[in-house]
């Protein structure tokens, strides 16, 4: 017997669903205009070039129509959001945990951030609505020249590096939401790993939307210089409000020749967040970029991590997972653009849609003329464990070079009753059997996560499935 | 050649549409619909679906001065296959020949002129309640309908009915737009061939060939619809096919693109009858500056339906292929099995292939898969054949032919690969195959798979 929707309990968000009182040093009133863009830039004491960039992006945002090819975004009212709310205002992000205001410290304690820092990570950043509140990097990494700070600080203190890369991977006119981010961005992580340096343990950031109707527009820029190695990890949450929030980040990642870079995200926004994110990486000669991208939360997600393989022998590995439940539309996927010879890419996408949730895989595989000897493989699998889910697959393959080797496969199906039966015959309850099958389906993803994230994933799915069957 | 922005108003003027209306004897409502379709043609985008925007190979198309009312002498024909319905669309219009035994068995056929002389109600019924075109080319096809027929196979007529349908282009600025309305009664069997050619004298300018087929099948009906597209290299073609299946009926679409300059194919099948099956098979061989742009939509609305779309293309020189497959499984369509496969082989630098195999699944009790690949000729296979005495070009050719034969082997037609081989061989050698009149080697009557005495419609023959 399969489970029915009414028997499945909703996901327990209580761990994330707490709200701090909204006390901000700086909060710009709702709505978006050139004036708001100017104010944001002024609060941040930015150089003129950044203000000009923001204004050009704003003009493009206004003139660009909403995308009409994906999920329904017609409920988004851009004037209903606050575009800048900063708990610290002019103060610099704290480097000692004890210096943080008590309510914010409490928030991230609940989310486990300092604990994670102590136990596992080489550096930690935390963003609360528009402002970065905490940033710290281990001293040994800093001594090797590794920079890990918020992007606002980087604009001031590492201007040359920022100007070299900022907006070069994702130009402001790339899409409507990249334009929006470019106009009103605030916070985000900046990581620079110098040539030949191996950052060793992961760097982590955590993003949280706390206030109602606040948009979060972090801007992340990660550069692994020649031969460097780094693993960057981020998580996101928000409490549940009755009205929607908007998260429109831009992430630019550069893997210089022979660098190795891994970017892991586990997105667990509450189910009222529009998560419209542009994530793109460039891999130069012999470089490797790995995206590990998990999408569990949000109301609507549109996110297609991309790798532009620009140097000979560059490689891309993208692992994308989507889990959509009631009221959620997760439109995710991956893009690999091969513009150099002997480049290779591998995309694995897995999705589960239950209780009326919708998942879509939307992917692009492009082999440009001149990119000879390309090898690319895409696999996307979807599971529909109950009667209400919907799963779509939209893969685009553009092959303009004759010796490319491209394969693409997708399978959509339900959980085999014989699989459940087999596990039950071995003594598992039905819900445990389904949980085990789902975890097995996602195993390729889970094993790439740090252990605490993997445990979290396991717990989330268990919660989603608990009470599924009597 | 056309510039980047074609002057669509120069392709087809309002006067040319009015002249067609007058020549065809349109009643006022039909004339009005043509005018409206013409104005939509001028306004609508080539590709309305946001999922496909930015795709579609229709560059360098210049259909300036289309003359849909043009007429000329009828082309000479090869001998008629015995017992076969023959329909010819050429400069003289649409001509049909139905063997008397089929007429007395209840097979109904009416050609374009007869339908038009029947008046408005007949024309409306013939054209069907089509949804308004949302793209430029469909609107063009609707504005220009000037050939066609309706064909009805009676219920429970158990012998297979064979139809040989030829379109032959012969005039400069020709615009042949054919509409077919085909109804297959309960338990009937149809073996249909549609062949498109042109006469040897190829004019300077481009010409238009539009082919629209609307097919409905009654319960338990079986249909094979084989298309061979081999006109001259200046022909621009628009194919549109729609099918709705009855319970347990089976349709095999099989389309082979070999000739033509730009060809756009859109096949839409709705699996509305429980237990019905649609197999949509397509092959393309493109050389020179040819392009093939194909969309296959399979919509499953009923239970226990099987749909598959298998497309394979071989592209040489600057040829291009675009394959879109969309399988949609509605909430009610339990136990659906769907498969989309789009594979291409690129033989030259400059050739290219784009594939978009889409699945939209609203029902969980299904098995839906797709696969695509693009790959060069495997050098190990070439080496193997060379070691057996084949020259390198012969080895590549053999491998490419085998690659396309994979599709032919999945059709319920006996010896299909051999039937199509002469055309493919000519195209491989860079030759066109013009319509030569009485000696023209048109396809022989189709035979279904199985043994001679015991024919068996082995849909997806290779897999069973």
pLDDT tens digits along B83-106: 999 999 999 999 999 999 999 999
Model confidence at B458, pLDDT cuts 50, 70, 90, reads confident
Kindly report the nearest CA distance between residue A330 and chain B, in angstroms. 14
pLDDT value for A117: 56
A-contacting residues of B 211-270, CB under 8 Å?
none
B-contacting residues of A 66-105, CB under 8 Å?
67-69
pLDDT value for A139: 78
In the predicted model, what is the mean pLDDT of residues B137-146?
Answer: 91
In a domain, A167, yes or no: yes
A130 and A276 part of one domain: yes
Burial A303-312 (b: 16+ CB within 10 A, else e): bbbbbbbbbb
Nearest to A327 by CA among A301, A361, A356, A352: A356
Phi first, then psi: what are they for A114, rounded to 5°?
-65, -30
Kindly report the nearest CA distance between residue A53 and chain B, in angstroms. 28
For testing the chain B interface, which of A391, A407, A411, A415 should be mutated: the one with the most B CBs within 10 Å? A391
pLDDT above 70 coverage of chain B, percent: 97
A410 → closest Cβ in B347, B353, B359: B359
Searching chain A, which residue's CA lies closest to the CA of residue B328? Answer: A392
Dihedral (Cα; B377, B381, B385, B390), 10-degree rounding = 10
- The mean-pLDDT minimum among A391-405, B66-80, B120-134, B220-234 falls in B120-134
pLDDT tens digits along A323-357: 998 889 999 999 999 999 999 999 999 999 988 89
Query: Which residues on A lie below 8 Å from B374 (Cβ)?
Result: 367, 397, 399, 404-406
Nearest-angstrom CA–CA distance, A73 and A82: 18
Report whether pLDDT(B334) > 70.
Answer: yes
What domain range is B182 assigned to?
16-376
Searching chain B, which residue's CA lies closest to the CA of residue A355? Answer: B364
pLDDT value for A108: 66
pLDDT value for A461: 72
Model confidence at A360, pLDDT cuts 50, 70, 90, reads very high
Nearest-angstrom CA–CA distance, B418 and B401: 11
B-contacting residues of A 388-407, CB under 8 Å?
389-407
Instruction: For chain A, say whether B7 makes contact (Cβ under 8 Å).
Output: no
Are B371 and A410 an interchain contact pair (Cβ–Cβ within 8 Å)? yes
Are A412 and B368 an interchain contact pair (Cβ–Cβ within 8 Å)? yes
Q: How many domains does chain A have?
A: 2
Query: Which residues on B lie below 8 Å from A410 (Cβ)?
Result: 357, 359, 368-371
Q: Beta strand B320-329 with A358-367: parallel, antiparallel or unpaired?
A: unpaired
Model confidence at A16, pLDDT cuts 50, 70, 90, reads low
Nearest-angstrom CA–CA distance, B347 and A196: 42
In a domain, A1, yes or no: no
B349 → closest Cβ in A69, A395, A402: A402
In a domain, A60, yes or no: yes
Q: Beta strand B108-111 with B147-153: parallel, antiparallel or unpaired?
A: antiparallel
Nearest-angstrom CA–CA distance, A403 and A331: 31
Are A399 and B376 an interchain contact pair (Cβ–Cβ within 8 Å)? no
In a domain, B461, yes or no: no
In a domain, A363, yes or no: no
Are B351 and A402 an interchain contact pair (Cβ–Cβ within 8 Å)? yes
Query: Which residues on A lie below 8 Å from B356 (Cβ)?
Result: 394-397
- Structure-token pair, residue B402: 């085998």
Are B375 and A405 an interchain contact pair (Cβ–Cβ within 8 Å)? yes
Are B50 and A406 an interchain contact pair (Cβ–Cβ within 8 Å)? no
Which DSSP letter does residue B278 get? E
In a domain, B413, yes or no: no
In the predicted model, what is the mean pLDDT of residues B362-385?
Answer: 86
Query: Which residues on A lie below 8 Å from B348 (Cβ)?
Result: 402
Angle in degrees, CA A116, A124, A336, rounded to 5: 105
- Structure-token pair, residue A412: 């959509």
pLDDT tens digits along A168-225: 999 999 999 999 999 999 888 899 999 999 988 888 887 776 666 677 898 999 999 9
Kindly report the nearest CA distance between residue A118 and chain B, in angstroms. 45
Phi first, then psi: what are they for B47, rounded to 5°?
-130, 105
For testing the chain B interface, which of A8, A69, A399 should be mutated: the one with the most B CBs within 10 Å? A399
Query: Which residues on A lie below 8 Å from B363 (Cβ)?
Result: 384, 387
Nearest-angstrom CA–CA distance, B451 and A230: 65
Report whether pLDDT(B3) > 50.
Answer: no
In a domain, B334, yes or no: yes
pLDDT above 90 coverage of chain B, percent: 68
Q: Which residue has the higher pLDDT, A25 or A71?
A: A71
In a domain, A78, yes or no: yes
A298 and A422 part of one domain: no
In a domain, B381, yes or no: no
The runs of H, that is alpha helices, within B44-107 are: 100-105
Which residues are bridge partners to B433 per DSSP?
Answer: none
Q: How many domains does chain B have?
A: 1
Angle in degrees, CA B417, B420, B421, rounded to 5: 80
In a domain, B27, yes or no: yes
Report the SS3 class of residue A380.
strand
- Structure-token pair, residue A15: 């761990």
B354 → closest Cβ in A398, A405, A411: A398
pLDDT value for B464: 38
B373 → closest Cβ in A69, A401, A408: A408
In the predicted model, what is the mean pLDDT of residues A237-264?
Answer: 85
Model confidence at A8, pLDDT cuts 50, 70, 90, reads very low
Burial of A148 (0-12, 13-18, 19+ CB in 10 A): buried
Of A251, A276, A303, the domain-final residue:
A303
CA distances, A452 to each of A115, A135, A329, A455, B94 (Å)? 11, 21, 26, 5, 73
Nearest to A465 by CA among A429, A435, A437, A427: A435
A408 → closest Cβ in B367, B372, B376: B372
Model confidence at A122, pLDDT cuts 50, 70, 90, reads low
Query: Which residues on B lie below 8 Å from A393 (Cβ)?
Result: 357-360, 370
Residue A373 zone, left/alpha/beta (φ > 0; ψ -120 to 50; rest): left
pLDDT tens digits along A78-111: 998 889 887 766 666 666 767 766 766 676 666 6
A-contacting residues of B 317-346, CB under 8 Å?
344, 346
Query: Which residues on A lie below 8 Å from B51 (Cβ)?
Result: 69, 394
In a domain, A435, yes or no: yes
A68 → closest Cβ in B50, B351, B376: B50
Per-position DSSP letters for A243-276, written without gaps between them: S-EEE--EEEEEE-TT-EEEEEEEE---TTEEEE
- The mean-pLDDT minimum among A68-72, A304-308, B318-322, B457-461 falls in B457-461
Instruction: For chain B, say whether A333 makes contact (Cβ under 8 Å).
Output: no
Q: What is the ipTM of this complex?
A: 0.76
Of A262, A285, A303, the domain-final residue:
A303
Report whether pLDDT(A467) > 90.
Answer: no
Kindly report the nearest CA distance between residue B324 and chain A, in angstroms. 9
In a domain, B4, yes or no: no
A-contacting residues of B 355-384, CB under 8 Å?
355-376
In a domain, B390, yes or no: no
Are B51 and A394 an interchain contact pair (Cβ–Cβ within 8 Å)? yes
What domain range is A462 assigned to?
418-470
Residues near B452 by beta carbon (within 8 Å), at least 6 away in sequence = none
pLDDT value for A5: 36
In a domain, A17, yes or no: yes
Mean pLDDT of chain A: 84
Nearest-angstrom CA–CA distance, A209 and A236: 8
A395 → closest Cβ in B351, B356, B361: B356
Instruction: For chain B, say whether A385 makes contact (Cβ under 8 Å).
Output: yes
In a domain, A380, yes or no: no
B355 → closest Cβ in A391, A397, A413: A397
Element holding B393 (H helix, E strand): helix B392-408
Are A395 and B374 an interchain contact pair (Cβ–Cβ within 8 Å)? no
Searching chain B, which residue's CA lies closest to the CA of residue A363? Answer: B356
Nearest to B340 by CA among B300, B304, B368: B368
Are B359 and A396 an interchain contact pair (Cβ–Cβ within 8 Å)? no
Query: Which residues on A lie below 8 Å from B352 (Cβ)?
Result: 398-401
Report whether pLDDT(B39) > 60.
Answer: yes
Are A406 and B358 an interchain contact pair (Cβ–Cβ within 8 Å)? no
Of A247, A276, A303, the domain-final residue:
A303
């Amino acid at each position: 017997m399969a489970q029915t929707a009414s028997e499945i309990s909703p996901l327990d968000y209580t761990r994330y669903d707490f709200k701090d009182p909204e006390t901000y040093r700086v909060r710009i009133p709702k709505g978006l205009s050139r004036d708001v863009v100017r104010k944001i830039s002024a609060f941040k004491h930015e150089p003129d070039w950044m203000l000009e960039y923001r204004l050009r992006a704003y003009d493009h945002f206004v003139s660009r129509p909403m995308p009409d090819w994906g999920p329904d975004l017609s409920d988004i009212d851009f004037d209903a959001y606050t575009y800048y709310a900063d708990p610290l205002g002019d103060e610099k992000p704290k480097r000692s945990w004890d210096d943080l205001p008590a309510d914010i410290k409490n928030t991230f304690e609940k989310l486990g951030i300092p604990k994670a820092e102590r136990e596992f990570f080489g550096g930690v950043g935390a963003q609360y609505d528009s402002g970065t509140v905490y940033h710290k990097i281990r001293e040994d990494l800093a001594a090797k020249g590794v920079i890990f700070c918020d992007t606002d600080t980087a604009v001031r203190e590492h201007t040359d590096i920022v100007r070299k890369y900022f907006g070069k991977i994702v130009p402001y006119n790339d899409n409507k939401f990249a334009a929006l981010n470019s106009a009103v961005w605030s916070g985000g992580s900046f990581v620079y790993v110098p040539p030949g340096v191996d950052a060793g343990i992961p760097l982590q950031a955590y993003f949280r939307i706390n206030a109602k109707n606040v948009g979060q527009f972090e801007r992340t820029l990660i550069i692994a210089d020649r031969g460097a190695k780094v693993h960057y990890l981020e998580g996101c949450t928000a409490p549940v409000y009755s009205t929607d929030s908007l998260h429109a980040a831009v992430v630019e990642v550069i893997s210089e020749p022979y660098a190795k870079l891994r970017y892991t995200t586990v997105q667990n926004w509450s189910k009222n967040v529009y998560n419209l994110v542009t994530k793109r990486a460039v891999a130069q000669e012999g470089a490797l970029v790995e995206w590990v991208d998990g999408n569990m939360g949000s109301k609507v997600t549109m996110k297609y991590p991309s790798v532009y393989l620009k140097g000979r022998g560059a490689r891309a590995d993208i692992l994308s997972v989507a889990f959509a439940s009631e009221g959620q539309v997760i439109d995710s996927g991956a893009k690999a653009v091969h513009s150099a010879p002997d480049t290779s890419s591998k995309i694995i996408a897995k999705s589960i849609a239950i209780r009326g949730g919708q998942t879509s895989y939307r992917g692009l595989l492009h082999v440009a003329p001149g990119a000879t000897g390309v090898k690319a493989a895409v696999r996307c699998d979807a599971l529909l464990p109950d009667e209400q889910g919907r799963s779509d697959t939209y893969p685009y393959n553009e092959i303009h070079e004759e010796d490319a080797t491209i394969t693409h496969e997708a399978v959509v199906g339900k959980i085999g009753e014989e699989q459940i039966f087999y596990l039950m015959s071995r003594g598992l309850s039905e819900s445990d059997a389904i949980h085990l099958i789902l975890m097995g389906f996602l195993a390729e993803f889970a094993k790439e996560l740090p252990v605490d994230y993997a445990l979290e994933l396991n717990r989330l799915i268990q919660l989603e499935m608990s009470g599924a069957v009597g | 050649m056309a510039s980047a922005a074609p002057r669509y108003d120069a392709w087809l003027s309002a006067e040319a549409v009015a002249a067609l209306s007058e020549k065809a004897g349109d009643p006022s409502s039909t004339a009005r619909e043509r005018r409206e379709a013409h104005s939509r043609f001028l306004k609508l985008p080539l590709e309305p679906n946001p999922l496909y925007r930015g795709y579609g190979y229709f560059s360098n198309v210049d259909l300036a001065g289309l003359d849909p009312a043009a007429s000329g002498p009828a082309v000479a024909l090869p001998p008629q296959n015995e017992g076969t319905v023959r329909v010819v669309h050429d400069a003289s219009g649409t001509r049909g020949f139905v063997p008397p035994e089929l007429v007395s068995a209840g097979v109904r056929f009416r050609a374009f002129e007869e339908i038009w002389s029947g008046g408005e109600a007949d024309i409306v019924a013939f054209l069907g309640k089509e949804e308004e075109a949302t793209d430029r080319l469909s609107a063009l096809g609707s504005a220009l309908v000037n050939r066609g027929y309706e064909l009805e196979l009676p219920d429970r007529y158990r012998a297979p009915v064979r139809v040989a349908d030829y379109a032959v282009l012969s005039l400069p600025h020709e615009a042949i737009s054919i509409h077919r309305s085909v109804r297959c009664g309960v338990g009937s069997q149809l073996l249909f061939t549609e062949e498109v050619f042109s006469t040897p004298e190829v004019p300077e300018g481009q010409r238009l060939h539009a082919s629209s087929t609307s097919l409905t099948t009654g319960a338990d009906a079986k249909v094979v619809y084989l298309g061979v597209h081999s006109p001259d290299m200046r022909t621009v073609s628009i194919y549109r096919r729609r099918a709705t299946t009855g319970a347990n009926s089976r349709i095999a679409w099989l389309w082979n693109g070999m000739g033509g300059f730009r060809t756009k194919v859109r096949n839409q099948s709705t699996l509305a009858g429980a237990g019905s099956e649609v197999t949509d098979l397509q092959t393309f061989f493109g050389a020179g500056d040819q392009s093939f742009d194909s969309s296959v939509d399979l919509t499953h609305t009923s239970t226990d339906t099987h749909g598959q779309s298998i497309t394979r293309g071989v592209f040489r020189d600057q040829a291009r292929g675009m394959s879109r497959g969309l399988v949609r499984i509605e909430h009610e369509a339990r136990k659906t099995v769907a498969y989309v496969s789009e594979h291409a082989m690129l033989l030259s630098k400059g050739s290219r292939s784009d594939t978009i195999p889409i699945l939209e699944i609203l029902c969980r009790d299904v098995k839906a898969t797709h696969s695509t690949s693009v790959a060069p000729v495997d050098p190990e296979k070439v080496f193997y054949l060379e070691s057996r005495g084949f020259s390198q070009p012969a080895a590549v050719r053999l491998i490419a032919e085998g690659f396309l034969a994979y599709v032919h082997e999945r059709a319920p037609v006996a010896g299909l690969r051999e039937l199509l081989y002469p055309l493919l061989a000519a195209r491989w050698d860079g030759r066109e195959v013009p319509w030569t009149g009485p000696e023209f080697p048109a396809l022989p009557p189709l035979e279904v798979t199985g043994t001679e005495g015991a024919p068996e419609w082995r849909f997806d023959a290779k897999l069973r």
